[in-house]
Amino acid sequence: MSTIYILWLRQIKRYLRSRSRIIGSLGQPLLFLVALGFGLGPIFQKAGGGNYIDFLAPGVIAQGILFTAIFAGIELIWDRQFGFLKETLVAPVSRFEIMLGRTLGGATIATFQGIIIFGLTLLVGFRPYNLWLLPMGLVIMFIIALFFTGVGTAIASFLDDMQGFQLIMNFLVLPLFFLSGALFPLKGAPDFLSLSAKLNPLTYGVDALRDVLSNITQFGIILDISVLGVLTLLILVLGSYLFSKIQI
């Protein structure tokens, strides 16, 4: 457990030291909130969709978590190239503990990012419909972060090239975000788009956040949490296996 805690703490310290990274990662969510929230808001409202900021805010929070969590895998490749990973792997501890510590650290950082973006949504006019459900929202943020940090770690485990990782992630991340229903309602969407969304893990995270923050849901929070929970367990098992195969 001490190994998990040390690696978790190391990830947090690295994140807190990088102020430019924290500030820079807020640009895209802020752009979505302002450009889409105010630009499409009147159209969304005229179409009978209600307040678009209330609909959009949970999706933007999930987007910020997704980007931060899945790109945590870059740090694994970075540590491999500069030798820190080798020093960690030769220590007399299980690789599962090492992988779990790094994943928990990345998930915590992504959750922090989600909280900061939540603060931005308040500045542009978003108001949660029930403040008592905010702790549940925090739990959902962490589950989303844990799953996608596990995805990033699993992919980085069999890559040793940062450029290759970034290409794969860009190919993966944008479709995950745009096909999750974060920007548009899934109800009434074409069949192929609806099917793509249902096969997208982020869809269930967005829907769960939207349920607890805005009282809007497509699938129901029980199904959302169940799908996210099962997928998170599976990706942690897969990530542990791939991490155990890293050659030093």
User: What does the domain layout of the chain look like in residue ranges?
Assistant: 2-244
pLDDT at residue 61 in the model: 94
Sequence-separated (6 or more) residues with CB below 8 Å from residue 208 = 140, 217, 221, 224, 225, 228
Tell me the pLDDT tens digit for each residue of 41-56. 777 777 666 788 889 9
Using an 8 Å Cβ cutoff, are 235 and 151 in contact?
A: yes
When pLDDT is cut at 50, 70 and 90, the band that residue 65 belongs to is very high
Q: pTM (2 decimals)?
A: 0.90
Which amino acid appears at position 60 of this protein? V
pLDDT at residue 82 in the model: 64
Using an 8 Å Cβ cutoff, are 224 and 198 in contact?
A: no
Q: What 8-state DSSP symbol labels residue 219?
A: S
158 has a pLDDT exceeding 80 = no
- How far apart CA 68 and CA 244 sit, in angstroms, is 24
Tell me the pLDDT tens digit for each residue of 70-92. 877 777 777 676 666 666 666 66
8 has a pLDDT exceeding 80 = no
CA 172 vs. chain centroid, Å, equals 13
Using an 8 Å Cβ cutoff, are 228 and 236 in contact?
A: no
DSSP assignment of 111-134: HHHHHHHHHHHHHTT---S-GGGH
Q: What 8-state DSSP symbol labels residue 247?
A: -
- How far apart CA 40 and CA 51 sit, in angstroms, is 10
